[in-house]
Amino acid sequence: MNTNDHASGEFSEDQAKDPAGWRFDNSYARLPEVMYSRLSPVPVRSPRMAVFNAGLAEYLGLNADLLAGEEGVAIFSGNRLPSGAEPLAQAYAGHQFGYFTMLGDGRAILLGEQITPRGERFDIQFKGSGQTPFSRRGDGRAALGPMLREYIISEAMHALGIPTTRSLAVVTTGEPVYRESELAGAILTRVASSHIRVGTFEYQASQGDPELIRILAGYTLQRHFPELEDAENPPLALLRAVMERQAALVAKWMLVGFVHGVMNTDNMALSGETIDYGPCAFMDAYDPATVFSSIDQQGRYAYGNQPRIAGWNLTRFAETLVPVLDAHQEQAVTMANDLLESFSGLFRDQWLMGMRAKLGLFTDEDEDLDLIQDLLTLLHQQRLDYTNSLRDLAAEHPEQLPSFKGEAFTKWLPRWQSRLDRQSQPRQAVRESMLAHNPAVIPRNHRVEEALEAAVTRNDMGVMQRLLDVLARPFEDPEDQNYRLPPPASAPAYKTFCGT
């Protein structure tokens, strides 16, 4: 999770004495009210705790022991609001599969902004907490399976060192939700550096008042990039900073084989955190065309398209800033375009740096890109597992492993080993570096489904907890090596669904 500044440190007497540790300072609620709608969560019938993240609670400065019990059930269901909360639903728009739509928090409510003991500021948001003015005929609720799925994947991403929103708790509501069938209802409590999205700016741009964009840009700079508030052109500095964070984020996705699945502009957080784990999944066999989402019929958000889509989304963000970049529109457009042209290079540098680390390369050589691309081509041609293949290269004698005995690899491996010989680091240091950058375990899709089925159909949280324990240490070889295995070849193609 990204940290941010500007906590006020001023709390009411009730908050200062709050036994659960809630310390809210709700800066977003002080913005113009066109940016949100104030309302409270809709109470639920008979909530129960499904899973609670005690470690994250403690990091936030909360009383984990208290919130793990009935107090937490009441709070995380929305049946009781802690002191200092100012619940609201945020307004935003978004390009969904390329088409502009007015959106907003249709089933989410921002409870408030928690100030941690370190002075960091984090949004506390409910997901599945009832209808809002932005629900668009939806019920505002969520099903248990997708909420547990977000809990698993977001916590796995955190353990992998990838900026992400996190999951504090999931409670069941005791009420059904109806999708294709009747499902158990649930509410996720999500923690984020903020929920400011590209779509947040798109919504304000649609209001036709440049002052709203100026206010929102200033707020975003203050919250996430305070060092840039005094820049010569603050909105331009904001665009550049957001581009840099997105380049780094998407590169990290690509390095672990993560497919977000629904990279709409409303799902791109300006903080640089991964947000909204709907139809996401992790790639097994390497293939740039990998798509898991059932609604992505054309592969718009395929694994290999993610850098291009990130650039497309950033262009939409830049368009919202044009009115405040320069008094002359033509000059503003030129400034934005000049900056946007650098995104592909920013991403390439981040990705190449990461791939060098995965291959144990401590130095830079011009031929590295060809070496890496040739390896990926071999993985693709032979349908080899992306995660395991890169991890296995760290073996003391990778050439003896069955996966690397084909003729193509007998030509590639000496090139790589010769490249290693041209740097001063000993092979043991190379191995250690590779093991630290290539995870042993990822949230294998069939393992995630196994955990969700046990939780949802049998009320057995043990399978999920064991999976979470393994995923919390992704760079360690698990005692149970089955967690490393991809699904059997006979398994049907994996499909994911958005869960809304």
Residues taking part in catalysis: 266
Quick one: which of 228, 204, 226 has its CA closest to 214? 204
Which tokens in the block code for residue 395?
Answer: 């073996």
Cβ 181 vs Cβ 62: under 8 Å: no
Give, in order, the Cα–Cα distances in Å from 210 to each of 94, 134, 205, 320, 322.
18, 23, 7, 9, 9
Closest CA to 469 of 31, 24, 51, 35: 51
Contact 274, 158 (CB under 8 A): no
Q: What is the DSSP letter of 385?
A: B
Could you tell me if 154 and 165 are in contact, meaning their C-beta atoms sit under 8 angstroms apart?
yes
Q: Enumerate residues 6+ apart whose C-beta is below 8 A from 344.
A: 307, 311
Q: Are 84 and 27 in contact (CB under 8 A)?
A: no
For residue 93, what are the CA distances in angstroms to 27, 43, 223, 333, 439? Answer: 21, 27, 21, 22, 36
Q: Which residue has the tokens 């992704």?
A: 474
- HSE-up of 122 (CA within 13 Å, CB side)? 27
Residues 6+ apart with CB under 8 A from 415: 371, 374
**Residue 179, token pair as written in the block:** 């999708």
Q: How many CB atoms lie within 10 A of CB 339?
A: 16
Q: Which amino acid, one-letter code, is at 475? A: F
| Residues linked to residue 38 through DSSP beta bridges, in sequence order | 88
